[in-house]
């Protein structure tokens, strides 16, 4: 089976750290939605199967859409794709968008998983992030969703900001665990140059992220969530048993997925493509039947590098047998040679290489060393 990602490029506010594609103006909403519907029609045969195991509404802020908007997309997908009741349909939602009415509407559309953008339980930090909610709304949004029957909820958390110490991060984790959600995604703050935070950092008005402190917070995150029966199935993703995100897992295991909407990425095993990262350009391209995406055909080297980059981050790791089958003996020999040189960062069981905690702290660098250049 395959998955579909729908990028909804609208937000009420611009978070200070966010580098994803979005607009705070809804003027183009109708045109973007119509373009999304047309893209679905044009690409209905992109995937190798029309059987779906996940639909993921990301953004941006998909919860900004009305019931009618979301229903329009889901109903259009159902014209070309099939799914059973067990499909995972995720909606990214901000706490301030969550209400009993909206939750009932989402349920009626078949949405059965929420990814709630909590980010922090510190009101001062949330204000600094330019988030539209406060900590009490974060907590109440999860509880309201649980009360109305949602039993597959993920929350997002960010660590590494200037507001956090080890002790405050510990309190954040205790609060997150107490909410009894099924999944937690937690990311180290990255200061991107083009964001409001990045511009202030460049002018010396905001400090850079302290790598040593972030590393300590990551290790505490892993320890505390492990004690609470979360499984770290990917470096930044923690799920209870049977609650690993299907969408996330498909991505990390390099299964085929199709991305719809401006800036969305797609992967079919042999090529990768990404849509125009501009609402107006995307809309006009679909309207005028011109190219709305950039295509990259992946060489054997590219495919191996992507395999290493994604699989190394997971509990499934890099498998010698898979590498041989997918890429051949010469590439396997290269992988084993470099991995042996860096064996202190790996756990190796039955020819499967996974990163230990020290390795997870340096995952991107280790993957880069394993790449074919």
What's the pLDDT tens digit per position in 15-42?
A: 999 998 989 899 999 999 999 999 999 9
Do 183 and 313 lie in a common domain? no
Q: How far apart are CA 13 and CA 348, in angstroms?
A: 45
Do 33 and 152 lie in a common domain? yes
**Has residue 139 been placed in a domain?**
yes
Last residue of a domain, one of 219, 252, 285: 252
Task: Provide the domain count of the chain.
Answer: 2
Percent of the chain whose pLDDT exceeds 90: 96
pLDDT band at 228 (very low <50, low <70, confident <90, very high): very high
**Has residue 293 been placed in a domain?**
no
Do 119 and 187 lie in a common domain? yes
Do 203 and 310 lie in a common domain? no
**Residues whose CB falls within 8 Å of the CB of residue 186, separated by 6 or more in sequence, listed in order:** 156, 157, 158, 159, 221, 236, 238
**Has residue 278 been placed in a domain?**
no
What are 48-74's pLDDT values in tens digits? Answer: 899 999 999 999 999 999 999 999 999
**Has residue 353 been placed in a domain?**
yes
pLDDT given for residue 1 in this prediction:
80
Q: What is the pTM of this model?
A: 0.96
Residue 17's CB: how many other CB atoms inside 10 A? 21
Q: How confident is the model over 247-266, as a mean pLDDT?
A: 95
Domain that holds residue 194: 2-252
Q: Are 330 and 344 in contact (CB under 8 A)?
A: no
Q: Are 16 and 199 in contact (CB under 8 A)?
A: no
pLDDT given for residue 328 in this prediction:
97
Q: How confident is the model over 224-228, as a mean pLDDT?
A: 98
**Has residue 164 been placed in a domain?**
yes
Do 236 and 315 lie in a common domain? no
**Has residue 117 been placed in a domain?**
yes
**Has residue 283 been placed in a domain?**
no
pLDDT given for residue 349 in this prediction:
94
Last residue of a domain, one of 196, 222, 252: 252
**Residues whose CB falls within 8 Å of the CB of residue 243, separated by 6 or more in sequence, listed in order:** 152, 182, 183
CATH assignment of the domain containing 363: 1.10.10.920
What are 309-321's pLDDT values in tens digits? Answer: 999 999 999 999 9
Whether the predicted pLDDT of 243 surpasses 90: yes
Q: How confident is the model over 167-189, as a mean pLDDT?
A: 98
pLDDT given for residue 52 in this prediction:
96
Whether the predicted pLDDT of 84 surpasses 90: no
Q: How confident is the model over 155-169, as a mean pLDDT?
A: 97
User: Contacts by 102-107 with C-beta closer than 8 Å and gap 24+?
Assistant: 102/63, 102/67, 103/144, 103/145, 103/148, 103/150, 104/148, 105/67, 106/67, 106/70, 107/148, 107/149, 107/150
pLDDT band at 367 (very low <50, low <70, confident <90, very high): very high
Q: Please state, rounded to an integer, the average pLDDT across all residues of the chain.
A: 96
CATH assignment of the domain containing 138: 3.20.20.70
pLDDT given for residue 85 in this prediction:
84
Q: Are 176 and 157 in contact (CB under 8 A)?
A: yes
**Has residue 304 been placed in a domain?**
yes
């Amino acid at each position: 089976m395959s998955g579909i990602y729908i990028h909804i490029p609208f937000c009420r506010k611009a978070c200070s750290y966010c580098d994803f594609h979005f607009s705070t103006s809804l003027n183009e909403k109708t045109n973007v939605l119509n373009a999304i519907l047309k893209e679905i029609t044009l690409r209905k045969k992109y995937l190798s199967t029309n059987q779906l195991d996940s639909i993921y509404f990301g953004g941006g802020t998909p919860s900004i859409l009305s019931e009618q908007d979301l229903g329009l997309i889901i109903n259009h997908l159902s014209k070309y794709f099939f799914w059973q009741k067990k499909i995972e349909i995720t909606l990214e939602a901000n706490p301030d968008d969550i209400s009993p009415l909206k939750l009932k509407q989402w349920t009626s559309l078949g949405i059965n998983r929420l990814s709630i953008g909590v980010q922090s339980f510190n009101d001062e930090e949330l204000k600094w992030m330019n988030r539209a909610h406060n900590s009490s709304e974060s907590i109440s949004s999860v509880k309201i969703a649980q009360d109305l029957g949602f039993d597959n909820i993920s929350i997002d958390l960010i660590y590494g900001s200037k507001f956090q110490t080890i002790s405050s991060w510990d309190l954040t984790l205790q609060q997150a665990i107490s909410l009894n959600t099924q999944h937690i995604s937690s990311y180290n703050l990255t200061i991107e140059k083009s964001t409001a935070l990045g511009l202030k950092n460049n002018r010396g008005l905001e400090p850079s992220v302290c790598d040593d402190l972030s590393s300590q917070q990551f290790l505490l995150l892993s320890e505390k969530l492990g004690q609470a029966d979360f499984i770290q199935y990917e470096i930044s993703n923690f799920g209870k048993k049977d609650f690993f995100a299907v969408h996330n897992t498909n991505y990390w295991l390099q299964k085929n997925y199709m991305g719809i909407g401006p800036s969305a990425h797609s992967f079919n095993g042999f090529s990768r493509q990404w849509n125009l990262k501009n609402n107006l350009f995307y809309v006009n391209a679909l309207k005028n039947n011109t190219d709305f995406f950039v295509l990259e055909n992946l060489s054997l080297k590219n495919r191996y590098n992507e395999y290493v980059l994604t699989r190394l981050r997971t509990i499934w790791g890099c498998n010698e047998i898979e590498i041989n089958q997918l890429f051949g003996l010469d590439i396997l020999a290269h992988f084993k040679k470099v991995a042996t040189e860096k064996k202190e960062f790996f756990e190796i069981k039955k020819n499967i290489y996974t990163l230990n905690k020290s390795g997870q702290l340096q995952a991107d660098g280790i993957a880069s060393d394993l790449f074919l250049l």
